[in-house]
């Protein structure tokens, strides 16, 4: 279950093993499933169903984040395997936000143009630029399914509240199905 720790943001997470087992069951529940009922939308997504402290600094570690990423990738691979013929143009993707992984998600992009434009953001208030460092798969030591590609970006946002400007930066890692042109 997705939860935010508003009152105890830095308290040690209890029951980590149990929480990871629940996450694994969630990922395995995607076996043989595909959200065809949402195919009339641009995309459909599932957020990482965990407690925010489980996957965010300072209360997480590389092993936990790696485990969570593997679960998301496994669920995405199941979706890819279950994709019906009438949705062959859909793109399955996993978006990992790093180092705070709470916003990570699995997306099914039913609209190919929307998928192709998703990382094209270059404005005063929001920008996405390619990462020039080691891939996250090396940092967290996990394997990517062979039918998926890995691309990293730096996502920057600027916000203004009551005259004060705040800048925020995080890494976005995209793992998406290698796609071919569908006629």
Residue 13 lies in a domain: no
Domain count, the chain: 1
Residue 31 lies in a domain: yes
Residue 7 lies in a domain: no
44-93 residue pLDDT tens: 999 999 999 999 999 999 999 999 999 999 999 999 999 999 998 999 99
122-145 residue pLDDT tens: 888 899 999 988 899 999 999 999
Cα 165 to Cα 103, 150, 155, 159, distances in angstroms = 22, 32, 17, 6
CA distance 54 to 56: 6
**Model confidence, pTM:** 0.90
Residue 10 lies in a domain: no
Q: Which domain holds residue 150?
A: 18-177
Question: Minimal CA–CA distance to 77: which of 30, 111, 125?
Answer: 30
Locus of tokens 């090396």: 138
Comparing 2 with 41, which gets the higher pLDDT? Answer: 41
Residue 182 lies in a domain: no
156-166 residue pLDDT tens: 999 888 888 89
CA distance 19 to 21: 5
Cα 33 to Cα 79, 83, 100, 171, distances in angstroms = 6, 8, 28, 29
% of the chain beyond a pLDDT of 70:
93
With a cut of 80, say whether residue 3 has pLDDT above it: no
- DSSP string over 122-169: BSSSEEEEE--S--HHHHTT-PPPTTEEEEEEEEEEEEEETTEEEEEE
Phi, psi of 27 (to 5 degrees): -60, -40
Tokens, residue 33: 């499933």
Residue 6 lies in a domain: no
């Amino acid at each position: 279950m997705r939860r935010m720790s508003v009152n105890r943001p830095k308290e040690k997470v209890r029951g980590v093993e149990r929480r990871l087992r629940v996450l694994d069951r969630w990922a395995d529940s995607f076996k043989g499933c595909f959200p065809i009922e949402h195919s009339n939308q641009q995309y459909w997504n599932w957020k990482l169903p965990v407690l925010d402290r489980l996957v965010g600094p300072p209360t997480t570690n590389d092993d936990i984040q790696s485990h969570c990423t593997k679960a998301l990738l496994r669920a995405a691979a199941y979706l890819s395997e279950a994709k019906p013929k009438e949705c062959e143009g859909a793109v399955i993707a996993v978006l990992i936000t790093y180092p705070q992984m709470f916003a990570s998600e699995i997306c099914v992009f039913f609209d190919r143009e929307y998928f192709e434009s998703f990382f094209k953001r270059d404005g005063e208030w929001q920008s996405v630029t390619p990462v020039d460092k080691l891939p996250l798969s090396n940092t967290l030591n996990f394997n990517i399914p062979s039918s998926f590609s890995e691309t990293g970006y730096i996502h920057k946002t600027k916000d203004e509240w009551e005259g004060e400007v705040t800048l925020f930066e995080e890494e976005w890692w995209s793992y998406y199905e290698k796609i071919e042109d569908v006629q």
